[in-house]
Amino acid sequence: MPGKARRWRAPAAIKASAVVHVAAVGAAVGSPAHWPFALGAIALNHGLLAAAGFVPRSGLLGPNITRLPARAAAAGAIALTFDDGPDPEITPRVLDLLEAAGARASFFCVGERVARHPGIASRIVAGGHSVENHSHRHATGFAWMPPRHLRRELRAAQHAIADATGRAPGYFRAPFGIRNPWLDPVLAMEGLHYVSWSTRAFDTVRNDARRVARAIGNGVRAGAVLLLHDGRATGLRHAQPSVLDALPEVLARIREHELETVTLPEAFAPAGGRDG
Tell whether residue 83 is a contact of Zn ion (CB under 5 A): yes
Number of residues that bind Zn ion (CB under 5 A): 4
Tell whether residue 87 is a contact of Zn ion (CB under 5 A): no
Tell me how far, at minimum, the Cβ of 70 lies from Zn ion, in Å. 28
Tell me how far, at minimum, the Cβ of 172 lies from Zn ion, in Å. 12
Tell me how far, at minimum, the Cβ of 98 lies from Zn ion, in Å. 19
Tell whether residue 84 is a contact of Zn ion (CB under 5 A): yes
Instruction: State which residue, 177 or 223, has the beta carbon closest to Zn ion.
Output: 177
Alpha-carbon distance of 204 to 39, in angstroms, equals: 41
Task: Please identify which of the residues 84, 184, 229, 230 carries the catalytic annotation.
Answer: 229
Question: Does the annotation mark 229 as catalytic?
Answer: yes
Tell whether residue 153 is a contact of Zn ion (CB under 5 A): no
> 157-186 in b/e burial notation, b at 16+ Cβ within 10 A?
bbbbbbbbbebbbbbbbbbbbebbbbbbbb
Question: Does the annotation mark 134 as catalytic?
Answer: no
Binding segment (CB under 5 A) for Zn ion, from list 37-45, 98-106, 173-181, 249-257: 173-181
Instruction: List residues with catalytic annotation.
Output: 83, 229
Sites of contact with Zn ion (CB under 5 A):
83-84, 175, 233
